[in-house]
Amino acid sequence: MSADVTSPDQYINRELSWIAFNERVLAQALDERTPLLDQAKFSAIFSNNLDEFFMVRVASLKSQVEAGITASSEDGKTPFEQLLNIREELIPLLEKQQDHYGRTLKESLLNHGVQLLDYEQLNSRQKEWIDAYFTTSIFPVLTPLAVDPAHPFPFVSNLSLNVAAVIHDPDTGQRQFARVKVPQKNLPRFIAIPEDLSDKNPAPIHTAIPLEQSIAYNLDSLFPGMTVEGHYFFRVTRDADLELRDLEADDLMLALEQGLRKRRVGGEVVRLEVPKDMPENVVEMLMTGMTVEEEDVYRINGPLGLDDLFWLAGLPLPKLKSKSHSGQTPAALARTQQHLIEEGSVKQEEFETIFSVIREQDILLHHPYELFSTSVEEFINQAADDPKAIAIKMTLYRTSKDSPIIEALIRAAENGKQVMALVELKARFDEDNNIQWARHLERAGVHVIYGVLGLKTHTKIVLVVRKESSKLKSYVHIGTGNYNSKTSKLYTDIGLLSSRPELGQDLVELFNYLTGFSKQQSFRRLLVAPVTLRKGTEALIRREIEHAQQGRQGQIKAKMNSLVDPEIIALLYEASQAGVKIDLIIRGMCSLYPGKKGLSENIRVTSIIGQFLEHSRVFWFANGGTPEAYIGSADWMPRNLDRRVEAVSPVEEPALRKKLERLLDLYMRDNRGAWDMQSDGSFVRRHPKKGEQECNSQVELIDLWRKGIPAT
């Protein structure tokens, strides 16, 4: 008998699923096979992820509780129950992270000449140097704030690290509390100490102590005439989600700027981190001063704010890191690079424009294995300088601060081309950066728009229009990742360059939808949210169900960041029960139970965590022996399907579809960075079976590219 696909028992809580994902990130730090500085990097990522989780997800749940909302989530939990579950799941993970930092990472690094010390561990010469550094470089920027009847409890800003000082007045005998903010934005979190001050032989290559300790052990300088009886560190996380109501905001940019000013100081406190040894009276004073509940206090056995371990990951010690990968120029585009002419490796008469190559064939790109700079950036650069290119339109969700793409768009406008950039101002935590880019582009003559009312524009698309033989021809790029030079080296993403007329016309009409009053309800080849993507995705899954019911091959292979949409999950359960074989590669949240008897026995879920962040979305359907494959910017989440502008494109060239299928199969063979989701929702790390060769999909892709045998 088949299980009820709509029951709350068949749906995993999305918040707890996210914590399980972050636990897999932490596992990379704890894995002794991970190079030491990469261990520090993954620990930092774990902490950084957690900060955003509290600022947005936990903040949202707390707001619901305060508003008296008791409605249950898809899995039947109230907001308050979810908060309790989150805390219960997180505490052991935080203990694991601190134990790894204090016992494993620091000791192992010491064997390689990297020494992380506490102030009390410094020798006399090192203390003298640190104290002098404090006097000249730290002391002038500090502002101690007293708390007494004349001085109310000071505002403590979001994600700030602070020193709580207990001060004794020898004249009055009174004890007082003072707060000193650690100036992290202006000074490095770890202070490097000169090698020649060490008394070890040989001296460590790198020695450092945390910035906050140099302050704590020099508090006497801040309170002359007083006695410092104790110091304790604490860290605050506040609600940082921007709730924008487009329909109420006459000027979205103005509304965002006002919201960003609020975010910089922060909303309500959603987490207070304190050391485990902080006296209860000091904890209670902090809780009272900032209106914090006991369930929001996290007692940490070690340094606070380990996201600053990114400093360690940046040390110039390549032997303690994974091998870097610089990427390759796609073979099809090798003779389209202007710099090759300048270097003399290609003659001018041999040079081809990128458009002549795309006109002959679709090109599938796979970053970071293929260079973003010599493919996507080259596409936009050539369009900016090409006399035949008359228009460039593109979306910008997140881009780097020194973006070559922005420079190319400005140059194109200066060259007299029609240039339109949709800059999504509401891209979370990139709003400020995008506001600056929008203004910069507008000043240069680029037509800038900010998206569709009430929706985030998340799609990654570029349209270039050229005049060829008195006709207009469109060239497109449709991708899974942002137009960001920096993250293109760190995230795995897929892109498609094409001149197929139907894709070009679809993008023309999609940009009209984005810039005007178009109510486009259908597209030729693209699946577009919020118009056709949900219905189109459901239709593709139902088609596999029909194939299976008719005795033909029913199979789905899909890769994405997250799967939490209840309707899609219910449909996948139905497909499994109909006999459709389903392989899902999901990096982050997954609210579906795989391999559950009577419900999802034909579904497998794998999560890949590795050197690069898996960010590509690929959807493959067997279609009874005539496969179809799609790539795009959308996960299977309600926000992507219903509340964002997304574009998912078919990959129509058979050879390219086959490459995508081989890529998905490679991920499913991974036994090094892969985790198997169990029928109870837990994850188990996959290991090579006896006699089986280790397969790390990301490393294998790097090796294939180095040998000139791309897997995609």
- Where in the sequence numbering do the catalytic residues fall? 458
Pair of tokens at residue 559? 């890769």
**Backbone phi, psi, residue 347, to 5°:** -80, 155
Give the helix ranges, DSSP H, for 54-122. 59-66, 79-99, 106-110
* Exposure b/e, 656-665, CB count within 10 A at least 16 = b: bbebbbebbe
Pair of tokens at residue 54? 């509290």
Cis before 368? omega within 30? yes
Other beta carbons within 10 angstroms of residue 435's beta carbon come to 18
Query: With contact defined as beta carbons under 8 Å apart, do 275 and 299 qualify?
Result: yes
Pair of tokens at residue 357? 């190559």
Query: With contact defined as beta carbons under 8 Å apart, do 150 and 294 qualify?
Result: no
- The CA-to-CA distance between both ends of the chain, in Å, stands at 41
Exposed/middle/buried for residue 328 (C-beta within 10 Å: 0-12, 13-18, 19+) = middle
Query: With contact defined as beta carbons under 8 Å apart, do 307 and 44 qualify?
Result: yes
Residues 6+ apart with CB under 8 A from 523: 506, 509, 510, 531, 532
- Which is nearest to 684 in space by CA: 588, 617, 591, 605? 605
Other beta carbons within 10 angstroms of residue 224's beta carbon come to 6
**Region class of 148: left (phi > 0), else alpha (psi between -120 and 50), else beta:** beta
Query: With contact defined as beta carbons under 8 Å apart, do 507 and 477 qualify?
Result: no
